Chain A
Amino acid sequence: MSLHDQSSPEFARGSYHEASRSVQLDRRDFLKVLGGGVLVCLTPTSAWTQESGRTFGGHELPKDVSAWLHIAAVGKVTVFTGKVEVGQNIRTSLAQQVAEELRVPFDSITMVMGDTDLTPWDMGTFGSRTTPTMGPQLRTMAAAARETLVQMAAQRWQVDAATLTAADGKVTDSKQSRSLTYGELTRGEKLVKIVSSEERLTPVTDWKIAGTAVPKVGGRDFVTGAHKFPSDMVLPEMRFGAVLRPDGFNATLASLDTSAAEKLHGVQVVRDGDFVGVVAPDAYTAQHALSAIQAKWNVPAQPSNEGLYEYLKNNPESSGEESPQHVAGSVTQAIASADLQLENQYTVAYIAHAPLEPRAAVATWADGRLTVWTGTQRPFGVRDELVQAFHLPAAQVRVIHPDMGSGYGGKHTGEAAIEAARLSKAAGKPVKVIWTRQEEFTWAYLRPAGLIEIKAGARRDGTLVAWEHHNYNSGPAAIGTPYDVANQIIQYHPARSPLRQGSYRGLAATANHFARESHMDALAHAAGLDPLAFRLKNISDTRLRAVLQAAAEKFGWGREKSTPGRGFGMACGTDKGGYIATCAEVGIDPASRKVRIRRIVEAWESGAIVNPDGLRNQVMGAIVQSIGGALFEQILFANGRILNPHFAQYRLPRFSDVPRIEVVLLERKDIPSAGAGETGIVGLAPAVANAIFAATGTRLRSMPMAPLHKEQHASSAQFHS
């Protein structure tokens, strides 16, 4: 199918992913940094494999390296990758895969991640790409390293390498009952091995460390408070910065009086065009100084929630470049001759990522070189932003990512990093900037709102014959139907969003699944078929059938009939290599129309499982997070202002919203592992919508389905049909 998936709407038009590969590997002196041992680099260019086995002094290493791995003289293994840990547990799951291939104990591995000076260039951590791409790459390197060590032992003993085995950090010659630890083998060596992705990997069925529930690396530091998040970073002499925000989007500064702020002890006001910031000796004074500034802004008139969806439909992105349309057969003809025809619109609101740790950065300049610690899913992307902002060569900027208080697709950009760097440059001291919650709600970007129109036709026996799906603005992720339909038109229509929008966990897969699966449910009811039977009739994809049947079985689908007070609904789908089916039970108070999700069963399959505990945690978390967007999360805005930029007004899922959740993991050891951080989020909203319909006969077609009113603070949300 020709639909292309764009990982991030905000950046889709640019070719940012190729923006910079300017890491000068040859400028690094590995000898100095790593002090000997064996270094393995992975490059997709196989020409380099010919040259493996060179010693590392002086000469140039390949530029196009995606990861590297080092075995020190003491046998310690360090893996360098540009990916970042944000709670999705890849620091653990990637190390497991390295330990597996290298045949070393899990705890001999250290992962160095997301540091633009130490790790190879990486596009960023999003799109569920780490497990399917970085996983195999690290495994390949580790396997190559193991082979190298075996060769080294063979040479030393003058025996055939095939007679030796590697296990538990040692190479063993069982015939002679002798062995050498990796540390003994690498001592005094300075060996570089360049490999491409052609190594033989350990079959999943033989996994001993990968595939098991290894506890999270550094878990203890999270329960003792010892872990340093980006906002916890402290440097000597560090100052605190804060930035003056306009009264609305697209505002221009009309007048400014900073005299009161400047009188405060130790405060420096920094102004550069419409950028106004303060630097102060402590966080309290910085906020104090900010509120002492008198500013007037001109805010132009701008759209609001009112009429948003018509606006998105009527304001295509001006580039005029429509996304590719997927067409098969003739939808018009097929619908005209179908027994059942059904047409409807669905909408999703803008929602905020609201990571619990807001944007934060600490910046410092030394000898013209800029170093920034910040929370971001794209350290190299943020480095490029800094390079541009300060007109520096890439080698003069270092971005370091301490494992952060998550992002969910919301921290691809480097706003706080640039602000901290700007203020630090002016102050001549390190500066920390932490966004307030209100800033995070207002000045970060949002998950796109969208309008989806679906037209479908089916035969009386439930065979789908036509499917037309148009998505305005929300995005193309998972827009293609996984059902067997001969006649299709599927298209994403980018629009001029009135609010800043960007990536979000699962992207538009949530919106497209909400619309598609609600529509499928409506078709099933129109055809007088059970929603499970109707779906199965139209699915030939065995993986999708398997999760659907597994979820239905665990849930006890069909055992009980929905009543006005209790509804059952289901949904299924696939995206980014993950297969999902969700069954929901909702309780509804017929008098107040209050709805409560009582039970969720979600079946999940994403190929071979690297860490079942981490996977369960991700799928569970995605289910919980999706409750918000399904029922009550939405950004309200008017005239360039966000109207609900506080947790008191923008409700996130809390303990009391959580139903009984059962996650059923299916494993396919024969299929390479897909990423699992995102797609678990797509099933709940349509399953709940379908359950509400089953109970009440009311079809809710807008997310959130039960927006809260100001006065409501109950855990149950009310819906209005």
Chain B
Amino acid sequence: MAEFLLHVNGAPLHVNAPADESLLSVLRNRLHLTGPKYGCGEGQCGACTVLLDGEATRSCLVAVGSVANAKIVTIEGLEQNGKLSAVQQAFLDEGAFQCGYCTSGMILSATSLLQRTHKPTEQQIVEAMDGNLCRCGTYPRIVAAIQRAAQSMPAKGASR
């Protein structure tokens, strides 16, 4: 056990955890941020995706000891002053989920994609999102939601 200072959703948080515990486990079980989900623990499904310095990252594969200096954003950190992010809003508008278990990871992967590529082609969306599983099969709506979000975002990608 060691104490770590994490930067999560803009706030400094102290947490006691073994250095090799996964970031996913720490977020969910020690910090009670249950937005990131466990789907496989092996980097294969994307349900656990968070942003690490803006990059979509599988939190199940990252040891908490290695992220002390990074800025971590979970799904809980996207909404600002009661306003959904463009990607969240687009998922809601397209109804891009069924059970919703994959949604948090999908939204963070899409957020990261749109930060890199403001107007992705369908092919770019598919490539960027292929590591995220939706067992309910809502992929076509998720693609539509990402396109919608891309449309609605300011050209400079200032929106998070």
Contact = CB atoms under 8 A, between A and B. Distances in A.
Interface of A: 86-89, 215-216, 219-220, 222-229, 231-232, 234, 240, 282-284, 354-358, 403-406, 408, 434, 436-437, 613, 617-618, 620-625, 646-648, 652-656, 658, 661, 715
A225 B101 contact: no
A403 to B, nearest CB: 8
B135 A356 contact: yes
A434 B38 contact: yes
B98 interface: yes
A282 B30 contact: yes
Interface of B: 17-18, 21, 25, 28-30, 32-42, 44-45, 47, 74-76, 78-79, 84, 88-89, 91-92, 95, 97-104, 107, 125-127, 129-130, 132-143
20 contacts: A215-B92, A215-B95, A223-B97, A224-B35, A224-B75, A224-B76, A226-B76, A227-B100, A232-B34, A613-B95, A617-B95, A617-B98, A617-B141, A618-B98, A623-B137, A646-B40, A654-B130, A655-B125, A655-B142, A658-B139
A647 B40 contact: yes
Describe A's contact surface by its main secondary structure.
loop
Given A225-B74, A656-B126, A620 B143 contact: no
A621 B137 contact: yes
B88 A223 contact: yes
A225 B75 contact: yes
B34 A225 contact: yes
A219 B95 contact: yes
Contacts of B133: 356, 647, 652, 654
Given A224-B88, A647-B42, A87 B32 contact: no
A658 B42 contact: no
Nearest to A432: B29
B84 A223 contact: yes
A503 B48 CA distance: 28
A224 B84 contact: yes
A240 to B, nearest CB: 7
A234 B37 contact: no
Contacts of A408: 135
Contacts of A613: 95
Contacts of B30: 282
A284 B23 CA distance: 11
Given A284-B18, A434-B38, A658-B139, A357 B44 contact: no
A437 B40 contact: yes
Given A229-B101, A282-B29, A617-B95, A406 B136 contact: yes
A357 B99 contact: yes
A624 B75 contact: no
A234 B33 CA distance: 11
Contacts of B78: 224
Given A284-B21, A405-B101, A437-B39, 19 more contacts: A87-B98, A215-B95, A216-B95, A223-B84, A226-B35, A231-B38, A282-B30, A283-B25, A355-B99, A355-B101, A356-B37, A356-B99, A356-B136, A403-B99, A620-B141, A622-B137, A655-B142, A658-B126, A715-B130
A376 to B, nearest CB: 14
Contact of B100 (A87, A434, A653, A656): A87
A620 B140 CA distance: 8
B31 to A, nearest CB: 11
A223 B103 contact: yes
A652 B134 CA distance: 9
Nearest to B18: A284
Contacts of A223: 75, 84, 88-89, 91-92, 97, 103, 107
A355 B135 CA distance: 6
Closest 10 A/B residue pairs (Cβ): A225-B35, A624-B137, A87-B99, A405-B101, A222-B100, A87-B98, A647-B44, A225-B75, A621-B137, A406-B99
A223 B35 CA distance: 9
Contact of B138 (A88, A404, A436, A620): A620
Contacts of A715: 130
Contacts of A658: 126, 139-140
A514 B36 CA distance: 38
A416 to B, nearest CB: 13
A52 B136 CA distance: 43
B141 to A, nearest CB: 7
Given A282-B29, A617-B141, A648 B74 contact: no
Nearest to B17: A284
A88 B138 CA distance: 12
A658 B88 CA distance: 23
Contacts of A404: 99, 101
Contacts of B44: 646-648
A95 B137 CA distance: 24
A215 B42 CA distance: 34
Contacts of A654: 130, 133, 139
Given A224-B84, A646-B44, A648-B42, A653 B37 contact: no
B104 A225 contact: yes
Nearest to A234: B32
A109 to B, nearest CB: 19
A232 B136 CA distance: 19
Nearest to A233: B34
A241 to B, nearest CB: 13
B51 to A, nearest CB: 13
Contacts of B40: 437, 646-647
Contacts of B98: 87-89, 406, 617-618, 621
A661 B98 CA distance: 17
B25 A225 contact: no
Contacts of B99: 86-87, 355-357, 403-406
B134 A222 contact: no
Nearest to B26: A284
A363 to B, nearest CB: 17
A246 B129 CA distance: 36
B100 A646 contact: no
Contact of B101 (A219, A406, A623): A406
B92 A220 contact: yes
A136 to B, nearest CB: 24
A581 B30 CA distance: 50
Contacts of A621: 98, 136-138
B45 to A, nearest CB: 6
A622 B33 CA distance: 31
B91 to A, nearest CB: 5
A655 B103 contact: no
A240 B29 contact: yes
Contacts of A356: 37, 39, 45, 47, 99, 101-102, 133-136
A659 to B, nearest CB: 9
A405 B101 CA distance: 5
A624 to B, nearest CB: 3
A182 B127 CA distance: 53
Nearest to A653: B137
